[in-house]
Chains A and B, each alone.
Chain A
Amino acid sequence: MLPNAARVKSVGEAAEIAAVQGRSLWSDARTRFFKNKAAVVSLIVLILIGAFALFGQFIAQYERDTVDFTLMGANAYQGVPSIETGHYFGTDSSGRDLFARVVQGTGISLMVGMVGAFVAVMVGTLYGAIAGYHGGRVDGIMMRIVDVLMSIPFMFVLILMLVIFGRSIFMLFLGIGLISWLDMARIARGQTLTIKNKEFVEVAHAIGVSPFRIILRHIIPNLLGIVVVYATLLVPSLIIYESFISFLGLGVQEPNTSLGALISEGASNMAYGVMWQLYFPLLFFVLTIFAFFFVGDGLRDALDPKDR
């Protein structure tokens, strides 16, 4: 067995060298992506926003839940954003530092978006790949279930769930995850249908690889491109969902906050001359969504051979 193992090792090394020299699908895609200026700028914006959410608390002069009682009733002219007072983004209506709150809100919104997208993509891809690979009756039943779930007005069911089982971030994740894997399942199934008739799957089948292993090792890696694109485009729409729910007061609960909750608060105080309470969360919301859309578009142009 030893010489055999040595040979495998050298073949592995040879493959490595070839990979460095050759132009793989991914390196091609990378070149294409970095040629797209809008996508690259958006990627930088996204990294900055991420850094803001992660490290913003170290810049903030106040804790996010410290209430400044001296501002009560005088918010409109004393809680104004300014560098001197240390309230860079001003204060909210309870006299809390808005900068620290926006930092946390951005963080939670990003987390909900990314974790939600991750869960949805995992479940959806696996489900779609299994349905597509098996075909026939299994496929029929699995996709019929997706059809049925899709025609349920999920926003209403989600609100119902949040009311009944209490408002928690876990419930929010569960509910949003339940909505969003459906599209992914459809896309993954469609791709699997074309992949499963390719020779390499046939070969794997012929040498007796188990169906589950074929799906995991041979089909899903080939779905990766479209999955990545879909995931980046899913994140902003999940952030919008979460903001919608938090806007209604059913999502993230005090003292925690998210961009949707902050926008809602700012919008309801609009008439009292404290516009900054709306401007700053709105700015971060719009920037984040924009950046994700552009990066997603850039990735699609780079990875999806159809639209080239």
Chain B
Amino acid sequence: MLSFVVRRLAVAIPTLLILVILSFVLMYAAPGGPFNSERPLPPEVLANIEAKYGLDQPFWQQIVNYVWRVVTAFDFGPSFQYKDRSVNDIIAQGFPVTLTYGFWSFAVAVVVGVSLGIAAAVRQNSWLDYLAVGITVGAQVLPNFVMAPILLLLFTLWLGWLPGGGWNGGQWEYLVMPVIALSTSYMASIARITRSSMLEVLNTNFIRTARAKGLPMRRIIWRHAMKPAILPVLSYLGPTFVAMITGSVVIDIFFSTGGIGQFFVNSAFNRDYSVIMGITILVGALTILFNLLVDVLYAWIDPKIRY
């Protein structure tokens, strides 16, 4: 097991390095620097500013410095746009917010999705099954940026039950709509995957044997069918996790939650490269870490996988 984790890490580190270098090269190749504005600065001033941010050094020196700083000190450097803040400050401010509603959305998507899928599979062709299939098909066409305005219409404008935006330290009223908007379409996908894999498992011989022996259905499902049925869901968790973080971009715009997505989009429009890169690398690292976690979990549940 340990050697498996080590080997996976050995792949993960070059991946991350490629991501860092890729985003740095993209940034370097960009026409126009972050300090080019409508009113051009005097060349001496520009030279001074560039020297301050290390932009006057040759390309290789810059990239080595950057990678070195990120790897050793986890320091993404100063923001080009907000003079008094570093990228780390911005991440420290936005990331906990994103992580909070991301975590809840993830939990809702997995728990509700898996339960719905199992319920539908066990009672195949009942009204419950049709309801579940209906919900999953409907929710599939509702990505977060469609879901968010619908929720706002319903709960804020018409019913007036929930505040239309803001964060307020993550009180539950402020969490409800972001979590629903973010989790719905993934909940639907997870339910669909669970349902079909559960149906497949329930039709196998060992389940028939268990039923013939007279085991109660509840026990069959939890003890025997659950493990093999959950495997396809596991491999879908990686993309779900990425979507929760990426969805932050939409959630922050609609609900003004102040997460990392808001900073990402603002920096994208302001050409604040260091912030964009910092966030991209952070999300990349998290993605890789999470995928590793899923793989380990997968290997732990499925004894057929050798590592």
Contact = CB atoms under 8 A, between A and B. Distances in A.
A263 B146 contact: yes
Contacts of B12: 151
A160 B265 CA distance: 10
Q: 3 closest pairs, A vs B, by CB?
A: A267-B149, A164-B30, A289-B141
B19 interface: yes
A58 interface: no
A151 B143 contact: no
Interface string A145-181: 0011001110111011111110000000000000000
Given A151-B288, A157-B23, A244-B143, A267 B254 contact: yes
Given A148-B14, A164-B26, A247-B250, A156 B280 contact: yes
A263 B277 CA distance: 29
Nearest to A147: B11
A243 interface: yes
A164 B18 CA distance: 18
A164 B143 contact: no
9 contacts: A152-B15, A152-B287, A156-B246, A160-B268, A243-B143, A243-B145, A248-B265, A271-B157, A293-B141
Interface stretch (A24-32, A110-118, A209-217, A278-286): A278-286
B149 A278 contact: yes
A151 B284 CA distance: 7
Contacts of A263: 145-146, 149
B15 A270 contact: no
A128 B22 CA distance: 24
Given A156-B280, A157-B280, A293-B141, A164 B146 contact: no
Interface centre among B26, B245, B254 (most CB of A within 10 A): B26
Contact of A270 (B29, B149, B265, B291): B149
Nearest to A307: B196
A290 interface: yes
State the majority secondary structure of interface residues on B: helix
B145 A160 contact: no
B280 A160 contact: yes
Contacts of B245: 153
A286 B27 contact: no
Contacts of B225: none
Interface residues of A, number: 38
A90 interface: no
Interface string B111-149: 000000000000000000000000001001111011011
Interface in B253-300: 253-254, 264-265, 268-269, 271, 276-277, 279-280, 283-284, 287-288, 291
B242 interface: yes
Interface of A: 144, 147-148, 151-153, 155-157, 159-165, 236, 240, 243-244, 247-250, 260, 263-264, 266-267, 270-271, 278, 282, 285-286, 289-290, 293
Given A147-B11, A164-B30, 10 more contacts: A153-B245, A153-B280, A157-B19, A157-B280, A160-B23, A163-B276, A244-B250, A249-B269, A289-B141, A290-B137
Interface of B: 11-12, 14-15, 18-19, 22-23, 26-27, 29-30, 137, 140-143, 145-146, 148-149, 152-153, 157, 242, 245-246, 249-250, 253-254, 264-265, 268-269, 271, 276-277, 279-280, 283-284, 287-288, 291
Contact of A151 (B142, B269, B291): B291
A264 B271 CA distance: 22
A282 B147 CA distance: 10
B157 A270 contact: yes
Given A151-B15, A270-B153, A156 B141 contact: no
A165 B27 CA distance: 10
Given A164-B26, A278-B149, A240 B15 contact: no
A194 B288 CA distance: 30
A144 B14 CA distance: 12
Contacts of A267: 145, 148-149, 152, 254
Contact of A247 (B29, B145, B287): B145
A152 B145 contact: no
A50 B284 CA distance: 38
Contacts of B26: 157, 160-161, 164
A264 B12 CA distance: 37
Given A157-B22, A248-B249, A270 B143 contact: no
B287 A153 contact: yes
Contacts of A165: 30
A176 to B, nearest CB: 14
Nearest to A294: B137
A260 B250 CA distance: 12
A151 B277 CA distance: 16
